[in-house]
Amino acid sequence: MVNVAFAYRLDDRGRTAGATPDDHILQMLEQLLFTRPGERVNRPDFGCGLLDLVFSPNSPELAATLDLTVAAAVQRWLGDVIELTALDVSAQESTLTVSLSYQVLATGVATTATLTAPRIA
């Protein structure tokens, strides 16, 4: 099975670019975390609303909310692909960083990823 690369682009041959299985999982995580619910027309419940809380005051309550929100979204939308083993969400000035550790269910490979929210002007 060929996985289409995100963001969509063409490869050197002028064909749709593909992604390795590991890259595809990372791209799916990025899409899930940085999509606001209601943003997708045919899937209005897709996403986790992480970017909606970027400018909220930093507090232990916010950190707990983000941890729970991200973990629930990953379990709901990617629970058949990965198992989340560790999660850390941190906000520093205008940058939101999500560090995840997960195990790919198909291969059993443990992976760590760090995703940074795009700057919001």
Q: What is the pLDDT at residue 7?
A: 82
pTM recorded for the entire structure: 0.82
Q: What is the pLDDT at residue 114?
A: 93
Q: What is the pLDDT at residue 67?
A: 84
- Alpha carbon distances (Å) from 39 to 36, 46, 49: 5, 8, 10
How big is the CA angle at 77 (ends 52 and 42), to the nearest 5 degrees?
75
Q: What is the pLDDT at residue 120?
A: 53
pLDDT per residue as tens, the chain (121 positions): 678 888 888 989 999 998 898 999 999 999 999 898 889 899 999 998 787 776 677 666 777 788 888 999 999 999 999 999 999 887 776 677 889 999 999 999 999 999 887 555 4
Q: What is the pLDDT at residue 58?
A: 66
- Alpha carbon distances (Å) from 85 to 10, 51, 60, 91, 117: 34, 22, 21, 21, 21
Q: What is the pLDDT at residue 65?
A: 82
Q: What is the pLDDT at residue 5?
A: 86
Q: Which residue segments constitute the domains of the chain, with CATH numbers given?
A: 3-116 (3.10.450.40)
